[in-house]
Amino acid sequence: MKIDVVVVGGGPAGLLAAGYAAMQGARVTLLEKNAQIGRKLRITGKGRCNITNSMPMARYPEHLHGDVELLKEAFTLLDNSGIVAIIEKQGVSTVVERGTRVYPASGKAADVASALERWCSAQGVSIQLNSMVQEVTRNGEGLWSVQATAGGHQPIELAAQCVVVATGGMGYPGSGSTGDGYRFAENAGHRLGRILPGLVGFCTTPTFGVQERFTVKNVGLSAVVGSKEIGRTFGDVELTPEGIGGPAVLQLSRAVQLAERKGVYPTLVLDLKPALSEEKLQARIARDFASRPGDTFASILRGFVPAPLVRRVGAESRIPLKDVGSKLGQGAVIALQRALKGIKLQVTQSEGWPRAVVTIGGIGVKELNPSTLESLCQPGLYFCGEVLDVDGDTGGFNLQIAYSTGALAGQSAGKRCVPAEPGN
């Protein structure tokens, strides 16, 4: 059977690319290395899947980073309401939570993956699982040759007019995202900058000394290089045996990673009492010391922070944990206030690819036509999704990037293979 378009990768970008290419009348085959479609999608959002963000598309740039010029045409073609409509037409209802975050009403990411797979198949796409692509090259006839192994061992080769690379980035490599797309891009002549883990936690010195992950809610967090603050946020943090993670940390991770790219390791500063001013916090501390003269500092401290934080906050304040309230004067009040509102953790490295939600860096706007996402040096080769040099904050933005760029790349490839009839 003749193939017009081969899509490499069966995540959200690949499924949309294959479906939109088929909608143009192209004969499309999608190759997925795993035994099921959307393996990473099925575990995203702790298995719940934040499908997209319902805020107006005009506000999306506030939450996007990198070569956002790549997204203008893509977002015009398929916006957040468009992907919700596709999913809901496949029988998966949605709900909006935490302001503008869209989730499946079932709370199951697998339902979203299955819905996109059904939609893709309904467009006439041939989906081949357990098909690991090894090389994407030009053959002697001017077509694209896609060499793969089926079932892990049997070599197969497909020839097509166009190839859409939708392999994902390098985060969560156990899901199949192992950077294949970057290799295909470099082999095709594209230049890539340094690729970094994004939306990731960090190893720090010191740590909080916890033996397992522990969540602390409503924390103020800033990232500092020298005397310059490079980022600030508020939310929940997750203390880990190696350092710190959680939603608030993920929001700052891009700024931290870009500083590390320059050889600078920022300091993270935690404010455990962001709702209280320094003066109000000092007044509360003084009252607690005075009202509990016979209690140890460790016992008093448990009224301010969860038990797993007591030793670290005590060390930051430099007040002996065995001291009793009657011995704690104004100097101790100020010391504890400063500790509660300014615990410093020096970043040593990120938690790396195994825990990275997205990839920072990739194929940029200088390498692609932003109106089609076609390679500028290899006609008929398209890129979409996480392989692009664009990423977003948490909240559904990265999945919307995947859907929209997949749709644009697929539609563009389909139109290239099936030219419009005269008059259309």
Residue recorded with tokens 């309230």:
325
pTM over 0.85: yes
Residues in Cβ contact with 287 at an 8 Å cutoff, skipping those fewer than 6 apart: none
In this prediction, residue 142 carries a pLDDT of 86
Dist CA 84 CA 103 (whole Å): 10
72 alpha-carbon distance from chain centroid: 20
User: pLDDT tens for residues 156-196?
Assistant: 999 999 999 999 999 989 888 999 999 999 999 999 988 99
* pLDDT (tens digit per residue) in 96-139: 998 999 999 999 999 999 999 999 999 999 999 999 999 999 98
Strands 214-225 and 267-271, bridge-based pairing:
antiparallel
Residue 213's Cβ-side half-sphere holds a number of Cα atoms within 13 Å equal to 10
Residue 1: is its pLDDT beyond 70?
A: no
- Based on DSSP, count helices (H) and strands (E) in the chain, helices before strands: 11, 22
**Averaged confidence pLDDT in the chain:** 95
Contact 79, 56 (CB under 8 A): no
pLDDT at residue 424 tops 70: no
Pick from 245, 272, 269: nearest CA to 346: 269
Using pLDDT thresholds of 50, 70 and 90, give the confidence band for residue 153. confident
Please name each of the domains of the chain with its CATH number. Answer: 3-196+354-417 (3.50.50.60), 201-351 (no CATH)
Q: In angstroms, what CA-CA distances link 271 with 217, 221, 242, 275, 330? A: 11, 6, 20, 9, 20
Cα pseudo-dihedral 173, 174, 175, 179, rounded to 10:
20
Q: What is the mean pLDDT of residues 31-55?
A: 96
| pLDDT given for residue 265 in this prediction | 93
| String of DSSP letters for 56-115 | -GGGGGGGEEE-GGGGHHHHHHS-HHHHHHHHHHTT--EEEETTTEEEETT--HHHHHHH
Q: How many other C-beta atoms lie within 10 A of the C-beta of residue 142?
A: 10
Cβ(165)–Cβ(11) under 8 Å? no
Q: Is 211 exposed, middle or buried (0-12, 13-18, 19+ CB in 10 A)?
A: exposed
d(CA 120, CA 123): 5
What 3-state DSSP class applies to 30?
strand
Position 208 scores a pLDDT of 92
Angle of CA points 414, 416, 420, to nearest 5°: 90
The pLDDT of residue 241 is 95
Determine the average pLDDT of the residues in 358-387. Answer: 97
Percent of the chain with pLDDT over 70: 98
- Closest alpha carbon to 249 in 260, 262, 238: 238
Instruction: Answer whether 106's CB lies under 8 Å from 70's CB.
Output: no
171, 272, 154, 172: which is closest to 215 by C-alpha?
272
